Amino acid sequence: MNLKTVLTAETISLHLKGSSKDEIINELLDILVAAKKIPDRAAAHNAILEREQKMSTGMKHGIAIPHGKSPTISELVACIGISDHAVDFDSLDHEPCRIFIMTLSPVEKTGPHLQFLAEISLLFKSSEKRREILNADSAEMIMRILSE
């Protein structure tokens, strides 16, 4: 999967303002709504929260990947948000997060969803990539880093 087919400059935000898990999730949903990627914000919000209740999507190395599946989504959508400050996201390593990648996908399609999550997690295993993302000064720069 090519991340550039899912992400665009308008689905990347460099300065998330939220200071809690709920605020970050809402900001990421707002990005997808503004980019006209999700038709039903409430359904998308419910899908994300339902997944979070099963297990936190706060991973390691300051990254969280809130995700879910919704019948209102016709194809995989995603956005990336970077926070200027660390936010507690109930991460596996108990460390706060600054890089947030949200993805929503159709209920009946598992392939693209799993492929996207696998590609993102491989990409962010690199401490160099994480540092580059955190230091990026434009959405276009993040797109370049992700496609290298």
* DSSP-derived secondary structure for 29-40: HHHHHHTT--S-
Q: Which amino acid is at 32?
A: L
Q: Residues of the chain with pLDDT > 70: what percent? A: 97
Amino acid 22: pLDDT: 96
What is the number of structural domains in the chain? 1
Per residue in 13-66, pLDDT (tens digit) is: 999 999 999 999 999 999 999 999 999 999 999 999 999 999 888 888 899 999
Share above pLDDT 90 across residues of the chain, in percent, rounded to a whole number? 70
Q: Which residues pair with 81 in a beta bridge?
A: 13, 100
Task: Tell how strand 97-105 and strand 77-87 pair up.
Answer: antiparallel
Q: What is the rounded CA–CA span in Å between residue 95 and residue 90?
A: 8
- Beta pairing class for 63-64 and 12-16: unpaired
Q: Is 1 helix (H, G, I), strand (E, B) or coil?
A: coil
- pTM listed for this prediction: 0.92
Sign of CA dihedral 34, 36, 39, 44: negative
Domain of 15?
A: 3-147
Mean pLDDT along residues 134-146: 92
Task: Give the model's pLDDT for residue 84.
Answer: 92
Which domain CATH number covers 117?
A: 3.40.930.10
pLDDT higher than 70, residue 89:
yes
Neighbours of 63 (CB within 10 A): 24
